[in-house]
Structure 1
Amino acid sequence: MLEKTTYKNGQITHEIEDGRLTYYLKSGLIKATGPYINDLFEGQWTFNRMDGSLWQIGQFRNNLKHGLWTRYHKDGTIEKEMLFENGIELKK
């Protein structure tokens, strides 16, 4: 079970609300967010850069990367797509 903690500046590091876990940067911007069920990462997660721009989106199943993961350039175009099965990247 995750406990609520804060950075030295008082900003919370993460919180769980309605089955959704959100990690924050010291600035307060969202670092990552997605479903958190029975202490496991599940479903679609979104990860952002330090400036808050989208970095990647991917799926988890039982805490493991599973399915399509897409990484983005800062301009929003696709940088790379990866396919995972139970935490292992499948080669294209």
Structure 2
Amino acid sequence: MNEELVVDGERVDRYANGTVKAVGHVRDGQLDGAWRWYRIDGSLMRTGQFDLGVQVGQWQTFDRTGRLVKTT
């Protein structure tokens, strides 16, 4: 996995082929705020929130067609 070394601001992680794997914000080096994860085919896989590295709130998982399959 290719990750940008971001301490504060938007971070984009990519698969080896360059496709976006995850997008979100980092604050003080910790995942913070809304994050989205994608499959290698580009379809949205999961969304969730962090508060300085701690998972918070509702998390949603989607199938390859974009249908919501799980909320935790």
- Same fold at TM > 0.5: yes
Where in structure 1 do 4 or more consecutive aligned residues deviate above 4 Å? none
User: CA RMSD of the aligned region, Å?
Assistant: 1.7
Higher strand share: 2
Distance 1:34 1:54 in 2: 13
Structure 2 unaligned spans of 5+:
none
Answering whether residue 30 of structure 2 is matched by residue 79 of structure 1, we say no
TM superposition shift of 1:67: 0.4
TM superposition shift of 1:25: 0.2
Count matched residues. 71
After TM superposition, the score normalised by the length of structure 1 is 0.71
Larger Rg: 1
Identical columns (%): 30
Native 8 Å contact 2:15 2:21 kept in 1:
yes
- Structure with more contact order per residue of length (Cα contacts < 8 Å, sep ≥ 6): 2
